[in-house]
Amino acid sequence: MQNETVPQKKLDTREYLFDNYKVLLIVLVVISHFIEPSYDQNAFLYELKWGIVAFHMPAFIFISGYFSKKIPSAKKLIQGLVIPYFVYEIIYYLLYTYILDKDTGLYFTRPKFSLWYLMALFVWRVIAPVVQKIPGHLLLSLIAGLLVGFTELDNFLSIPRILFFFPFFLAGLSFDSSCLTRFRTRKGYLGALTILGLLAVFLFTDEYHHKLTPKIFYGRYSYADMELGNLEGVAIRIICYGISFLLIYLFMLVLPSEKKSYSYLGQRTMAIYIFHGFVYSCFKYGSSILTSVESNLESLLLIGFCLFLVWLLSRKLFVVITDKIAHLI
């Protein structure tokens, strides 16, 4: 009698922690953009805005760095980032000019809306392998992020954002997820939740941050733009870096690492990221609805719409379009 070979189940090695993390982050990205026009006239949205911008893009960029350990080929970079950047810039130009009647130009050196991220990701993936070989590269990137606050480059080539957020990309590039095993325990989970809770209480009770602007986390604006003195600006930016890194690691300890019913959304974030910008632009420049959100009920309805939009833009149609544009050559 022959021994029967029992088929082995294929081992699923996907790191669902990061898929689940990206789901949270893309939801926060969409909410952050849609509450931008009205957060300063609603106390709840105001604090929510602060809580979101303190870590959502730093965390996204950290994860992007983590998944960029393999040096991409020039063809892959051009296919996946350069060509899509130009295609989406043209679409934004056509949308703004011929549908929304917004005065704009076709300026490829000044990314429209959220497209700065594509430009930045291209630059980071090109220079990171070289920068990583420099001793103290993370510290040097932090210093560069502080120094760029003195400049008035505005949105030119997204240089301020590229330099401000580069430390998060480098940190993700060097991150070893196996070290999480020591901390992803019940004690670590409860400790992280406690710290997050205390930070939330601090956010809703502290008065000093009301004298500032959430733009201190945007990376785009100079210290002068935010009406900060040079020393004050540097000190605040150092604190911003500390808060962002702390939140990135805390959420790693509390988010589930198992496959969930919503985990697939984390694999479709690029489609959501790109297309939500077109929807947002239509609302922002085509109507006044986003500037008239005042009550908490209206705020909750807006957040509900954002959740629906994330689900809608994660449908296969938008994923296929994004993928096709990323493979035009």
Question: What are 82-120's pLDDT values in tens digits?
Answer: 999 999 999 999 999 999 999 888 889 999 999 999 999
Distance (Å, rounded) from C-alpha 173 to C-alpha 137? Answer: 12
Distance (Å, rounded) from C-alpha 319 to C-alpha 313? Answer: 8
Q: Which of 2-11, 44-53, 125-134, 229-238 has the lowest mean pLDDT?
A: 2-11
* 12 has a pLDDT exceeding 70: no
* 2 has a pLDDT exceeding 50: no
Mean pLDDT, the chain, rounded, equals 93
Q: How many CB atoms lie within 10 A of CB 212?
A: 15
For range 120-143, the mean pLDDT: 97
**Residue 8 buriedness (CB in 10 A; 0-12 / 13-18 / 19+):** exposed
